[in-house]
Amino acid sequence: MGSTDDKLHKIGEVSRITGFPVKTLRYYEERGLVEPAGRSEAGYRLYGEEEVARLEFIKKAKLLGLTLGEITELVELAAAGGRGKIIPHLEHVLENHLEETERKMDELDTFRKSLLYYREKLFETDPLENCGCDDGVSFCGCLDAVTGKEHIIDAGSLTES
């Protein structure tokens, strides 16, 4: 909670200061990421500079692509006085994100190669002769004409030409 000497802001002001929509601020409060410093006589949430600083911390963590769970861990660590623990924890989290990103990039590269391969097969396919729609055996043979009757190939075995 913020100090009583803080300038207190209503939730709408905090929204303008931080750029977070009011709905998001309320959600963060429900999740325990931020807590109003108090309430006005009329019952409005009031936030101090400490809470605004916490929200700026959250905004920067979001820029790093951290999940809400990861942000919660960092906020809790910082709130508990985790001096000297934030950077090593963040390093671990970012390393995991980098590994996941590399894995996804590899999957996308494999998928791209597969699409290029089948696009090339498509160019080699005569739309009238190779369709197989007239044989009465299958619903539509157009995709068989491109992919063959076998299962879709593993694009990981393809090489770029």
Amino acid at site 148: G
| 44 within domain boundaries | yes
- Confirm if 33 and 53 have CB atoms less than 8 A apart: no
pLDDT digits (tens, 9 = 90+) for 28-69: 999 999 999 989 899 898 999 999 999 999 999 999 999 999
Tell me how crowded residue 157 is: count the other CB atoms within 10 A of its CB: 10
In the chain, where do the E strands start and end? 9-10, 38-39, 45-47
Question: Is 59 within the bounds of a domain?
Answer: yes
128 plus 72 within the same structural domain: no
pLDDT, tens digit (0-9, with 9 covering 90-100), for 93-144? 999 999 999 999 999 999 999 999 988 888 887 766 666 666 666 667 777 7
As a whole number of angstroms, the distance between CA 143 and CA 138 comes to 11
Residue carrying structure tokens 């508990």: 80
CATH classification at residue 72: 1.10.1660.10
The count of domains in the chain is: 2
Residues 71 and 38 occupy one common structural domain = yes
Q: What radius of gyration do the chain's Cα atoms show?
A: 27
From 28, 48, 83, the end of a domain falls on 83
